[in-house]
Structure 1
Amino acid sequence: MAGCGAGRQARAGRPRRDRRGRYLSYKLAERLGAAAAALCLAAAVPGPSAFAAGEPEPYAFTDGARSVTGAPSSTDAARLEPGHTYRSSLPGSGKLYYRLDLDATSTAYVSVTAVPGPGTTVAATDGLRISVQDARGTSCSSHAAHFGPSRSPHPIAAWGAREVSSGRSLCQGAGAYYVLVERVGAEGSSSDAWPLELAAVSEPPLKRTGATSAPESWNSASPEPVTGQAAERAGGAGFATASMVGQGVWRTRIRPGQTLFYQVPVDWGQQPSATVELGSSSGGSGYVSGALTLSLYNPVRGYVEEAYAGYTGRQTSATLAPLPPVAHANRHGFADQVEGMRFAGLHYLVVHLAAQTADSFGEGPYGLILRMRVDGTAQSGPDYAGRSEPGRLFEVTAHDRAGATPAGAAVGSAALRALAVGGIGAGTVLLAVLGVWTVLARRRAEAQ
């Protein structure tokens, strides 16, 4: 993939005969450079043959994530900085501590994703618990995530928070806070260590005090599923590589034991809803309980909602329960599906097909359809007194909306098909694009 860096170097050599010539050459380079970048990106994405052996793609950790070692005691806890992502490991027994050094005004979140290896034995009640505590041992929050009816090892994420609010008296001051990560579940489960991905985030306070209770009423009727022609969109292998989708019908394939990640832009005042359909099998018999899992996480990777479906070999589907419109005040709700819908941004849909599906119906891959709906008109967000870490986390950009359209999916799919049919490498494609750019740029410069 070394050739994909050549476009940046070639830009310095574009013709510079006069103002008009420079402008035209720049625009031409910009357009052709975008095409070259798309082809390089497409070449970097593994196609179906990359996992032809039937092994599910491993979890894709965030590139450049820092390594951090959890401590058995809060005294030795390593510091997590908001705006950064980390890699760690959770042993089969015991618990780990990490530290947050917080001010008295910002709300902090930590999401921890556990990634048990393929073949790991897990029960429905096995899972992960995240607690945030102050220096006195007072619990600020505690959330748990479980493998559920699938009883299949796959990435699960739980989150914790130190929330700053005028309605709270505990965990409000500046100082050191501790994130406790521990395994929960039944005795006799696998004692293998689980790789972890930790993401720390900060949310600024509001300039003016907002509502102190969640909205009491909202449209909780089940929306009609989206219909129409499905666009191809393969899922990512982790939160960091989640594929963008928006309202529409999306299609891909999934293998037993595989987990697919998607991200969907949801703005303030909007309601997301999603249904995932697993296609019928070509053979086999039996029943797999909780074979299909559909989970929703908010922009800080906080759990919101989950749905399951068993599988008999016939097509089946799982649908998220109705969710409230995104609102800052939802944080004051009691149910997960209400308090989780507390900010705008890129929400995550995670689809898992239980590994044991292969025992009854074969290794697949199986057809998968995602029906995504986003209702409501985008509204202005709350007036924050500062910026989030990482920045712009709680907003939806024009780039997000563009990437969530079926047209955006077509660009990547077309590039992949062209590379697959032609059997040419990204370096060859890039050289061809740059060659065309050079010829056209010279002609335009000479014409001036």
Structure 2
Amino acid sequence: MGARGRDIGGAHVRGRRRTAWGGRTAAVILALGLCGTGLLPAAAATAAPDPGTYAFAPGARPIDGTASPADAPRLDPGRVYRGSLPAHGRLTYRLDLADATATAYVPVTAVPPAHATVTSTDGIRVSVRDAHGTACSYATARFGAGLSPRPVTALAEREAGRALCQGAGRYSVLVERLDTGGTGTSAPWELEIAPALEPRLTSPAATGAPPSWDSASPEPLTGEARERGGGAGFATARPLGQGVWRTTLVPGRTQFYKVPLDWGRRLQASAELGGAPGHGYVGGALDLSLYDPVRGLADDASLGYTGVRRPVALAPLPPVEYANRFAAPAAVSALRFAGDYYLVLHLSDQLTATFGQGPYDVTLRVRVDGRAHSGPGYAGRPEPDGILTPSASDGPAMAVEGDGGAGAADHGGAGAGGPAGMRALAAGGIGLGTALLLVLGGWTLAARRAQTRVSAQKPTA
């Protein structure tokens, strides 16, 4: 009897569990349906992404560098690779160049874990070397005064026509991690490597200094800011044209934009960090960087912050011209070809301790001027195809189309952020919510009928 009683009790318990499970399931489905109809906030159904998340290029090939050039894996221009760099690591890759007249670029982006402890001098160094180990070029990228882990990119190259490293053949790419070994830096940093190839010109180019240009700082743009969130990586950078734009950032977040520039066009940009309650000072609180189409750093500016609304601006830059490559300053030399230029915003995670978790308003002012003209002709196709061609018109209308606001940055791209996407999402959500409510109604009716049948079968006293 006791055993049967326990069995019966177990059956009752299991029955109650089934009923409770069914109720919880119905509640979850109803909540999802209401999220789709807009009666509940979608944030209740989805967790916010990690502030430090970087959007690697879709389809990036896994690759493991080696300690020695002898067995180093090959990098093919036009492809994107993904790997990792251990603490105090040195990794080598192989670069086979069949064309002695083409210039090869190897940008490497290092992505440390979110919330890792870094110093201002931590970063990476990248160099391209010939078969004898002679460095053709090298570049470093460091985290800087913000003391905040963020994606940093260094570009090395094998430039045709220079004194060193000429001719076709095998070259090596050395990636070195520069770190002090402090707390939190022992974890590997992820890498994104995107080698590119620029073909020679159809006719020899003049090697003189670039043409003169107006280096005075322009008046900042005015007007009402429009919402425009950025992407979470180079591959998901959102298009941007001339105008005043607004986004929101939380400490540790990095946003990427791309501004198409044709030959003769010039970009000027500034970013303004909104005010916040609190007292103190954070060096390098907001970082604004500009990268060229092959991810070479053109300029970088950072803002010291006391809680008062303040702007930071890039240095005045020249128009895009082929001859800029023969100039000594990196800010001029990087403006060497037409294509998509990348504006990158990063908000230091050091803000949290002094001014709170945010989010913080950031206003981005972008001016594009200069007279566009035809550029020099290339004797072949660049790799990847289209990298040295602006992706779209650089007029203001380009940036307005598909504007999804700052929320699009949370998912690393435009996605469904535009008006059409939002309409489709709303329609889909309403349809899903309606269908779920009909299903729940059917379940309720069936349950009531079943209860009525059970009651009718009970014997009367």
Q: Same fold (TM over 0.5)?
A: yes
- Equivalence for 1:324: 318
Query: How much has 1:216 moved relative to structure 2?
Result: 5.6
- Equivalence for 1:9: none
Q: Distance in 1 between matches of 2:275 and 2:433?
A: 40
Flag the 1:53–1:82 CA change in 2: closer, same or farther, 3 A.
closer
Paired residues of 2:87 and 2:181 also in contact (CA < 8 A): no
Paired residues of 2:261 and 2:394 also in contact (CA < 8 A): no
**201, 223, 226: which one aligns with 1:228:** 223
Flag the 1:428–1:396 CA change in 2: closer, same or farther, 3 A.
farther
- Equivalence for 2:3: none
Paired residues of 1:244 and 1:403 also in contact (CA < 8 A): no
**142, 145, 163: which one aligns with 2:159:** 163
Structure 1 or 2, whichever has the larger Rg, is 2
Q: Distance in 2 between matches of 1:362 and 1:54?
A: 18
Trace 1:260-271 onto structure 2 (pairs within 5 A).
Answer: 260-271=255-266
- Equivalence for 2:75: 80
- Equivalence for 1:143: 139
Identify which range, 419-428 or 82-91, moves more after superposition. 419-428
Q: Distance in 1 between matches of 2:310 and 2:295?
A: 27
**118, 134, 139: which one aligns with 2:130:** 134
Identify which range, 236-245 or 413-422, moves more after superposition. 413-422
**192, 195, 198: which one aligns with 2:193:** 198
Query: How much has 1:419 moved relative to structure 2?
Result: 6.1
- Equivalence for 1:414: 419
TM-score normalised over the length of structure 1: 0.80
Flag the 1:366–1:54 CA change in 2: closer, same or farther, 3 A.
farther
Q: Which runs of 5+ in 2 are unaligned?
A: 1-41, 405-415, 435-461
Trace 1:5-404 onto structure 2 (pairs within 5 A).
Answer: 53=48, 55-56=50-51, 58-102=53-97, 103-165=99-161, 168-186=162-180, 188=182, 190-215=185-210, 217-281=212-276, 283-398=277-392, 404=398
Overall identity of the aligned pairs, in %: 53
TM-score normalised over the length of structure 2: 0.78
Flag the 1:364–1:171 CA change in 2: closer, same or farther, 3 A.
same
Q: Deviations over 1:280-323 (max 9, x none)?
A: 12x22211111000000000111110001011111121100011
Q: Distance in 2 between matches of 1:248 and 1:211?
A: 35
Paired residues of 1:131 and 1:143 also in contact (CA < 8 A): yes
Q: Distance in 2 between matches of 1:216 and 1:123?
A: 39
Flag the 1:185–1:397 CA change in 2: closer, same or farther, 3 A.
closer
Query: How much has 1:223 moved relative to structure 2?
Result: 1.1
Flag the 1:51–1:380 CA change in 2: closer, same or farther, 3 A.
farther
Query: How much has 1:404 moved relative to structure 2?
Result: 3.2
Q: Distance in 1 between matches of 2:421 and 2:362?
A: 20
Query: How much has 1:427 moved relative to structure 2?
Result: 8.2
Flag the 1:269–1:425 CA change in 2: closer, same or farther, 3 A.
farther
How large is the Cα RMSD of the aligned pairs?
2.4
Q: Which runs of 5+ in 1 are unaligned?
A: 1-46, 430-448
Give SS of 1:318's match. strand
Q: Distance in 2 between matches of 1:363 and 1:277?
A: 18
Q: Deviations over 1:233-257 (max 9, x none)?
A: 1110000001110111111110000
Give SS of 1:78's match. coil
Flag the 1:210–1:137 CA change in 2: closer, same or farther, 3 A.
same
Paired residues of 1:265 and 1:404 also in contact (CA < 8 A): no
Paired residues of 1:245 and 1:403 also in contact (CA < 8 A): no
Query: How much has 1:198 moved relative to structure 2?
Result: 0.3
Flag the 1:380–1:425 CA change in 2: closer, same or farther, 3 A.
farther
Give SS of 1:196's match. strand
Give SS of 2:403's match. helix
Q: Deviations over 1:101-131 (max 9, x none)?
A: 0021111101000000112111111111110
Q: Distance in 2 between matches of 1:346 and 1:427?
A: 39
Flag the 1:162–1:124 CA change in 2: closer, same or farther, 3 A.
same
